């Protein structure tokens, strides 16, 4: 296909995880378009940043598998967004080829070369191979609120789940969920719903969590529950005990707990890099307009809605039971929910302060005070991307940066899938003790309001 002595260079990209016949056919079709084929293989880190969280083979294995096909004249590594434009120009590629499932997504590259979308081999995919080796869990979604709207697109970023069912007693809202979310079965009977799924994501109002989680576990279904797990520590502890007895995964979906940056933050702090931790201060506020469920008594308010995330940071970093707690609250003038609250906790060797608010805006940062230095995580700290470690001598200061994909929920979903597939009933990222701690503080607050 060469014109004179000139070579027509073709470039294509992919993860090429669990290399299969479909990948090989795609490479063959790409190669037929020219004389020289350049194949870009994504790095593990780049896969994470673009939301592919369950890649089985590491990048070196994937590169070797592509090389073994004998179809690539040159293999390069794709490591960042926007790299394709630079690669096309650097390698003088005339044709960019990609699978037809990306139809239209790379039309912008027509300014640099010809874009060709190649038909994929039907019935062959990495997702299919994962299903054969690890299984695909049938997932049901409970609830119709904001959390559910976030969950379904995030779940699509994680292989190992098939979102096919929704439970909602209200047929009208269920129909909206079916039309907009891609799920296709509606149940108004909860027990019937549970018999048709392997796992559930519970995003119903707080007051329904305990009964719905309990019934799911008793029916032999794995559970990913929105925060807070329950509104008192006894119920939360009971649910984890029940999950262990039934051999099922129970996980609280606080996205921050599973994000790369936050996991590293906890490890750095617990390693003693700033000495002994003496104080943890975390703030989380959100602007909310009425009418909204979170602004409605008796289960709404800043503590039940928002405190789970900053309390998680306290639990993970201090890993202790508080000796004393006090909570200062500003209640809505009409006698409704708490709009702004500050939770002060005293531990044996440290203190902490958690500030939460609805309908108000404060600088949402996290600070950790130690005997040798401090750690500062800027707003929004719960989407942990940057960590600043500061010392008395500024020349020793350190800065870390981490990826954060989507709204973070996909990290929780990926951990949930991994636990089911590998039959792990617990994870250090979000422990039962963390959930119990959070529920206990929320319970104290609610008792104080009575």
pLDDT in tens, 176-218: 555 555 566 888 899 999 999 999 999 999 999 999 999 999 9
Residue with the larger pLDDT of the pair 375 and 331 = 375
- End-to-end CA, the chain: 81
pLDDT number for residue 257: 96
> Which pLDDT score, from 0 to 100, does residue 422 have?
83
CATH number of 260-403: 3.30.360.10
Given pLDDT bands bounded at 50, 70 and 90, which one contains residue 290? low
Q: For residue range 339-380, what is the model confidence (pLDDT) as tens digits? A: 999 999 999 999 999 999 998 899 899 999 999 999 999 999
- Number of Cβ atoms within 10 Å of the Cβ of 152: 18
pLDDT at position 163 is 81
Sequence-ordered alpha helix ranges (H) in 112-222: 126-133, 146-155, 171-181, 190-194, 209-218
Q: Judge if the upstream peptide bond of residue 209 is cis by omega within 30 degrees of 0.
A: no
Q: Looking at residue 58, what is its pLDDT?
A: 81
Same fold yes or no, 134-255 and 260-403: no
Say whether pLDDT at 275 is over 80.
Answer: yes
Q: What is the mean pLDDT of residues 169-178?
A: 62
Euclidean distance between CA atoms 410 and 227, whole angstroms? 15
Q: Where are the alpha helices (DSSP H) in 35-170?
A: 44-49, 59-68, 83-90, 126-133, 146-155
pLDDT at 224: 98
CB–CB of 417/160 below 8 Å? yes
Q: What pLDDT is recorded for position 184?
A: 64
CA-CA distance, 33 to 23, in Å (whole number)? 16
Taking each helix axis as running N to C, give the angle between helix 146-155 and helix 409-421, from 0 to 180 degrees, rounded to the nearest 10. 60
| Residue 281: Cβ-neighbour burial (10 angstroms; 0-12, 13-18, 19+) | middle
- In the chain, the percentage of residues whose pLDDT exceeds 70 is 89
Query: Is pLDDT above 90 for 10?
Result: yes
Rounded mean pLDDT, 378-407: 94
Spans of all domains in the chain: 9-124, 134-255, 260-403
Dist CA 305 CA 355 (whole Å): 12
**CATH superfamily, domain at 134-255:** NAD(P)-binding Rossmann-like Domain (3.40.50.720)
Q: Longest C-alpha distance within the chain, in Å?
A: 86
Q: Is the pTM of this model over 0.85?
A: no
Coil vs helix vs strand at 218: helix
Q: How far apart are CA 284 and CA 314, in angstroms?
A: 13
Please, what CATH class does the domain formed by 9-124 belong to?
alpha beta
The label of the residue with tokens 């529950």 reads 225
When mean pLDDT is compared across 45-54, 225-234, 235-244, 312-321, the lowest value belongs to 45-54
pLDDT at 297 over 50: yes
Tokens 């592509």 — which residue? 66
Q: Is the pLDDT of residue 54 over 60?
A: yes
Q: Which two tokens stand for residue 354?
A: 């958690």
Burial (CB count within 10 angstroms: exposed 0-12, middle 13-18, buried 19+), residue 177 = buried
Q: What is the pLDDT of residue 4?
A: 46
Name the band, by pLDDT with cuts 50, 70 and 90, for residue 37: very high
Q: Is the bond preceding residue 97 a cis peptide, omega within 30 degrees?
A: no
């Amino acid at each position: 296909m060469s014109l004179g002595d000139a070579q027509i260079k073709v470039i294509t990209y992919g993860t090429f995880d669990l290399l299969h016949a479909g990948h090989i056919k795609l490479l063959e079709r790409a190669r037929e378009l020219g004389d020289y084929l350049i194949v870009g293989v994504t790095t593990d880190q780049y896969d994470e940043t673009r939301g592919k969280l369950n890649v089985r083979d590491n990048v070196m294995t994937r590169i070797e598998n592509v090389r073994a096909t004998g179809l690539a004249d040159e293999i390069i590594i794709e490591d960042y967004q926007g790299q394709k434009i630079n690669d096309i120009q650097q390698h003088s590629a005339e044709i960019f080829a990609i699978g037809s499932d990306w139809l239209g997504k790379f039309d912008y590259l027509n300014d640099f070369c010809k874009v060709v979308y190649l038909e994929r081999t039907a019935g062959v995919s990495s997702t299919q191979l994962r299903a054969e080796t690890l299984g695909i869990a049938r997932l049901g979604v409970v609830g119709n609120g904001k959390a559910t709207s976030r969950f379904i697109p995030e779940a699509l970023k994680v292989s190992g789940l098939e979102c096919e069912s929704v439970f909602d007693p209200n047929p009208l809202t269920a129909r909206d969920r079916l039309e907009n979310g891609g799920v296709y079965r509606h149940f108004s009977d909860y027990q019937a719903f549970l018999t048709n799924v392997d796992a559930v994501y519970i995003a119903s109002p707080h007051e329904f969590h305990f009964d719905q989680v309990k019934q799911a576990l008793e029916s032999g279904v794995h559970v990913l529950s929105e925060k807070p797990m329950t509104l008192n520590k006894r119920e939360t502890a009971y649910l984890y005990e029940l999950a262990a007895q039934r051999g099922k995964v129970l996980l609280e979906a606080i996205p921050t707990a599973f994000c790369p940056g936050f996991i590293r933050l906890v490890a750095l702090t617990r390693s003693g890099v700033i000495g002994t931790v003496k104080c943890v201060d975390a703030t989380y506020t959100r602007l909310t307009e009425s009418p909204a469920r979170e602004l409605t008594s008796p289960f709404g308010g800043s503590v039940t809605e928002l405190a789970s995330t900053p309390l998680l940071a306290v639990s993970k970093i201090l890993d202790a039971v508080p000796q004393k707690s006090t909570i200062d609250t500003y209640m809505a003038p009409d006698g409704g929910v708490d709009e702004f609250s500050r939770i002060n906790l005293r531990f044996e060797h440290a203190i902490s302060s958690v500030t939460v608010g609805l309908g108000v805006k404060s600088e949402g940062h996290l600070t950790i005070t130690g005997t040798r230095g401090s750690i500062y995580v800027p707003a929004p700290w719960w989407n942990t991307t940057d960590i600043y470690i500061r010392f008395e001598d500024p020349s020793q200061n350190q800065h870390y940066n981490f990826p954060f994909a989507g709204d973070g929920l996909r990290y929780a979903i990926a951990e949930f899938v991994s636990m089911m597939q590998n039959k792990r009933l617990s994870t250090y990222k979000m422990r039962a003790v963390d959930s119990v701690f959070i529920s206990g503080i929320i319970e104290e607050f609610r008792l104080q309001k009575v």
